[in-house]
Amino acid sequence: MKKLKVAIVGCGRISVSYADAFRKLSDRVEPVYAVDRNFERAKSFANQFENCSPAIDISEIYGKGVDVVHLCLPHDLHAPVAVDAMRHGIHVLTEKPVALTLQDADEMIHVSEETGMKLGCIFQTRYNESVQKLKERYNRQEFGKVTTARSYLSWYRPDSYYDTSDWKGTWEHEGGGTLIDQAIHSIDRVRYIIGSDVLWIEGSIHNHAHPSRDIEDTAEACIQFKNGCCYNLYSCNYYGFDSPINIEFCGEKGRFGLIQDMGYTWFGDEYTEYHEVNKSESVGKNYWGTTHVMQLADFYDSVLNDRPVSVDGLEGRKTLEMVKGIYLSALTHRRIWLPFEDHKITKEEVRQLWNR
């Protein structure tokens, strides 16, 4: 089998999940470059692999036979770096969110089509066994018509979490707070399982416990899917602990849901749990899960066999659209009907909301 030559750009916190995946998929990929503007980080990532060289800028890897680049960068860099890499003939799998604005996501999708380079967006929790099983049962309509869904996230991101980063906690580089960074995985899983486009979004954002930051630490929303399902969302990151994420769907014949990685169903009084049987040991943070390797394997397969990417740029855009719709609704105090005109949100715009 031809081995793909891959590079990682951004060797920060999440890069451990990539090092782990590269090792597990060594029959099909060879990491050849580790890029980080912090050269020590690039070196320490590269040193884990035999033929992997450190670099400080992505331009150093162009024209060197790299097939795929993984973007693990601050959110505002996803779009420009992805576009540049695709124009240099490299397939791109970017971390979530796909971009900071829908216009940027559109440009990425356009360049992917124009160049023939594949574009994917990481939403690894879709690949959890419990998610896959519940989606299959939902698609078989075992729960009847699903009328409502909810996701509830309460995590812990103290000031020190933001103090150690030059981009997190800023509208300019992260593009928001708990919604775009943490709740985005729950939003993606709900949309993926429900399998419908969105009709309208109403939401609000708050900053209750991070007075030194401009981003939101709390968000709530009501999202109406076109298929009739009404989704309510709550996310906050000032709880004292990373509590398991709770997602639930209510159907006419039964309820089903996820508590972190565990799936469950309720039919009347009958309760069943799904535990992941093939769960591997997690690397990095527990809540990142263990399925980056599965999404990377799926993306490599789409490159090697020239088939469509499962979680492509458009999928990334649809989930981003829900996030941005909540922000826009919060800023304008209006119900947002899709499609809508998006923009890069600034701290000045949001400060009025915090009333400070």
Ligand X SMILES: NC(=O)c1ccc[n+]([C@@H]2O[C@H](COP(=O)([O-])OP(=O)(O)OC[C@H]3O[C@@H](n4cnc5c(N)ncnc54)[C@H](O)[C@@H]3O)[C@@H](O)[C@H]2O)c1
Give the nearest residue (CB) to ligand X.
Answer: 12
Least distance from ligand X to the Cβ atom of residue 36, Å? 4
Structure tokens at 228: 């009739």
The reply on whether position 93 binds ligand X by CB under 6 A is no
**Nearest CB to ligand X, comparing residues 178 and 265:** 178
Least distance from ligand X to the Cβ atom of residue 58, Å? 6
The reply on whether position 80 binds ligand X by CB under 6 A is no
Candidate list 34, 77, 149, 331; residue touching ligand X; CB under 6 A: 77
Candidate list 95, 104, 214, 261; residue touching ligand X; CB under 6 A: 95
Give the Cα separation of 122 and 69 in Å (integer): 13
The reply on whether position 14 binds ligand X by CB under 6 A is yes
Dihedral (CA of 185, 186, 188, 192) sign: positive
Q: Which amino acid is at 288?
A: W
Within the chain, residue ranges assigned H as helices are 15-24, 39-46, 75-87, 102-115, 129-139, 159-163, 178, 184-194, 292-304, 313-332, 347-354
The reply on whether position 11 binds ligand X by CB under 6 A is yes
Q: Are 199 and 224 in contact (CB under 8 A)?
A: yes
Q: Which region, judged by CB under 6 A, interacts with ligand X, from 32-40, 196-204, 262-270, 332-340?
A: 32-40
Output 333-338 pairs: Cβ under 8 A, ≥24 positions apart. 334/202, 335/200, 335/201, 335/202, 336/200, 336/201, 336/202, 337/199, 337/200, 338/197, 338/198, 338/199, 338/200, 338/201
**Nearest CB to ligand X, comparing residues 165 and 243:** 165
Structure tokens at 12: 């920060």
Least distance from ligand X to the Cβ atom of residue 16, Å? 9
**Nearest CB to ligand X, comparing residues 49 and 267:** 49
The reply on whether position 201 binds ligand X by CB under 6 A is no
Give the Cα separation of 349 and 208 in Å (integer): 17
The reply on whether position 282 binds ligand X by CB under 6 A is no
Q: Phi and psi at residue 28, in whole multiples of 5°?
A: -125, -10
Give the Cα separation of 294 and 287 in Å (integer): 16
The reply on whether position 98 binds ligand X by CB under 6 A is no
**Nearest CB to ligand X, comparing residues 41 and 279:** 41
**Nearest CB to ligand X, comparing residues 86 and 336:** 86
**Nearest CB to ligand X, comparing residues 250 and 294:** 294
Which residue in this structure is represented by tokens 């855009």?
317
The reply on whether position 126 binds ligand X by CB under 6 A is no
The reply on whether position 189 binds ligand X by CB under 6 A is no
Q: DSSP E strands: which ranges in 113-261?
A: 119-121, 146-154, 198-206, 218-225, 230-236, 246-251, 255-259
Nearby residues of 330 by Cβ (< 8 Å), 6 or more positions away: 203, 204, 205, 216, 219, 353
Candidate list 23, 24, 28, 37; residue touching ligand X; CB under 6 A: 37
Residue 320: which of 180, 157, 154, 133 has the closest Cα? 180
The reply on whether position 90 binds ligand X by CB under 6 A is no
Q: Which region, judged by CB under 6 A, interacts with ligand X, from 6-14, 101-109, 136-144, 261-269?
A: 6-14
The reply on whether position 122 binds ligand X by CB under 6 A is yes
Least distance from ligand X to the Cβ atom of residue 84, Å? 11
Candidate list 13, 208, 226, 347; residue touching ligand X; CB under 6 A: 13
The reply on whether position 40 binds ligand X by CB under 6 A is no
Candidate list 48, 132, 165, 260; residue touching ligand X; CB under 6 A: 165
**Nearest CB to ligand X, comparing residues 94 and 224:** 94
* C-alpha dist (Å) from residue 41 to 20, 28, 73, 182, 300: 16, 25, 13, 24, 25
Query: Which residues 291-320 are close enough to bind ligand X by CB under 6 A?
Result: none
Structure tokens at 65: 């036979």
Structure tokens at 350: 């949001």
The footprint of ligand X (CB under 6 A) covers 9-14, 35-38, 41, 72-75, 77, 95-96, 122, 124, 165, 181, 288
